[in-house]
Amino acid sequence: MSLDTIALLVVVAIVLAATLPIVAYQVRKDRKAKALLAEARTLGSHETASLHPLVDEGLCIGCGECVKGCPEQDVLTTIRNKAVVAHAVECVGHGICERVCPVGAITLVLGTEKRGAEIPRLNEFFETNVPGIYVVGELGGMGLIRNAVWQATQAIQHLAEGARRSSGTDVLIVGAGPAGLAAVLVAQQLRLSYRIIEQETLGGSILHYPRKKLVMTHPVELPGVGQMPFREVEKEPLLEFWLQTLGKKGIQVEEGVRLERVEQSGDRFVAHTSSGPIAAAHVVLALGRRGTPRRLETPGEELPKVAYRLLEPESYDGQRVLVVGGGSSALEAAMALAERPRSKVTLCHRRSEFSGARAALVQRVLMLEKEGMLQILREARVTSITPDRVHFDVAGQPAERENDFVFVLVGGVPPYELLKQCGVDLETRFGTPILRSA
């Protein structure tokens, strides 16, 4: 063997020694990513009509910054040096993936080519086609407290520039969740006269989360208040912070007041509510997408043991509880109840798979089922509710369970009819970008 051949073999050996570990690592990484994508497709969580990232494969350079930056679990991964969306339903609209991508290959969109998402038609200031009526927060297509605060700030500042000042109310704010509370803080800061109403109690959609649910993962700057004193926070301390802030600012929320419709009267609006009419120059709708809790329309649903939100899981220790639903809220409630001492919890879901829930929740619920801490009825629906039992149709077969309490967590009816009655146009997004905070 010649020296040249030996030298060539040495070079080849060095190259192989250097590259084989890299290739092996990439193969393992791709295999893991493919398994994640397969899991998402099996669960049906790879597609969602809600806000989610869209990757332009032609632009993507596979740097992985989007995967590292996303605070949620397994929304994005990389396969063959290209970013791909795995569990799309886990996206809550942080927008970090879009901001950190060095080549602009990621865009936050609403809907897909097949599944449209209906939202109000808004301009860059979140004003609807009816001048003077604004929509902010979840109802406009974006969740996340930081986004809600930003949108409310933009809306109030815009209406303040052309505010029609008079002896009446400058702005009526409907909804006392994060978007509505931020709007009232900005209105107060800009010396606008305001009223804020809420059909339930302060907190909006946050109230429907189980206790100790993490509701914020980013620092938020509140107008006239400063940065909120936590980066990550559960719902209880957040609600307490809101109460203290409103108390210090002297802000009164008119609770238990439901908006029925808004009419234009001259250069002002008249909001017809459950407690009477309210006249205002502008209206900010911060209603959230949940709207009115969706009902089962089942005999016995009017019984006092039936509820539409879970606040205190520990109150149901040792009880026979049914949770109806297959989304993230239903799964979280079922988990919280199943982990209570001596409880007997059944989860009733109309489908065979939990395609609308977050993957981590699905895995935990399936583990509780395997451990015997939770019973799951699939392809099931409630046919009637009695004081001590619940009757079902399970895959076409009748069934029943002894029962003390029922939680119906099947989502809400978005207030689209209310928007239409106010003259607000809706549009359906099929994978189109949405305006977000900077």
The one-digit pLDDT tens for each residue of the chain (438 residues) are: 677 777 777 777 777 777 777 767 677 877 888 888 887 887 777 877 778 899 998 999 989 899 988 877 788 998 888 899 988 877 877 778 888 999 999 988 888 877 777 888 888 899 999 999 999 988 877 767 778 888 999 999 999 987 655 567 999 999 988 889 999 999 999 999 999 999 887 766 665 555 555 555 566 777 778 777 766 666 677 778 888 888 888 889 998 899 999 998 888 899 999 999 999 999 999 987 766 788 999 999 999 999 998 878 999 999 999 999 998 889 999 999 999 999 999 999 999 888 778 777 888 999 999 999 999 999 999 999 999 999 999 999 999 999 999 999 998 888 888 899 889 999 888 877 765 554
Q: Can you tell me the distance from the alpha carbon of 86 to that of 83, in angstroms, rounded to the nearest whole number?
A: 9
Q: Can you tell me the distance from the alpha carbon of 248 to that of 76, in angstroms, rounded to the nearest whole number?
A: 42
Q: Can you tell me the distance from the alpha carbon of 332 to that of 201, in angstroms, rounded to the nearest whole number?
A: 22
**294-412 is classed CATH 3.50.50.60:** yes
Q: What is the pLDDT of residue 416?
A: 86
Of 93, 220, 109, nearest to 144 by C-alpha is 93
Scanning the structure block, which residue is given the tokens 């669960």?
43
Amino acid residing at 391: H
Q: Can you tell me the distance from the alpha carbon of 354 to that of 351, in angstroms, rounded to the nearest whole number?
A: 7
Q: Which positions ≥6 away from 327 have C-beta within 8 Å? A: 356, 357, 409, 410, 411
CATH 3.50.50.60 domain residues, the chain: 118-291+415-433, 294-412
Q: What is the pLDDT of residue 438?
A: 46
Scanning the structure block, which residue is given the tokens 């649910």?
213
Of 395, 328, 339, nearest to 363 by C-alpha is 328
Q: What is the pLDDT of residue 109?
A: 87
- Determine the 3-state secondary structure of 106 from DSSP: strand
CATH topology of domain 118-291+415-433: FAD/NAD(P)-binding domain (3.50.50)
How many CA atoms within 13 Å lie on the side-chain side of 143? Answer: 18
Which top CATH class is 3-110?
A: alpha beta
DSSP state of 69: H
Cβ burial, residue 205 (10 Å; 0-12/13-18/19+): buried
Q: Can you tell me the distance from the alpha carbon of 435 to that of 438, in angstroms, rounded to the nearest whole number?
A: 9
CATH 3.30.70.20 domain residues, the chain: 3-110
Q: What is the pLDDT of residue 356?
A: 74
Q: What is the pLDDT of residue 206?
A: 63
Scanning the structure block, which residue is given the tokens 């006092």?
304
Of 287, 289, 268, 267, nearest to 279 by C-alpha is 268
- Entry pTM: 0.73
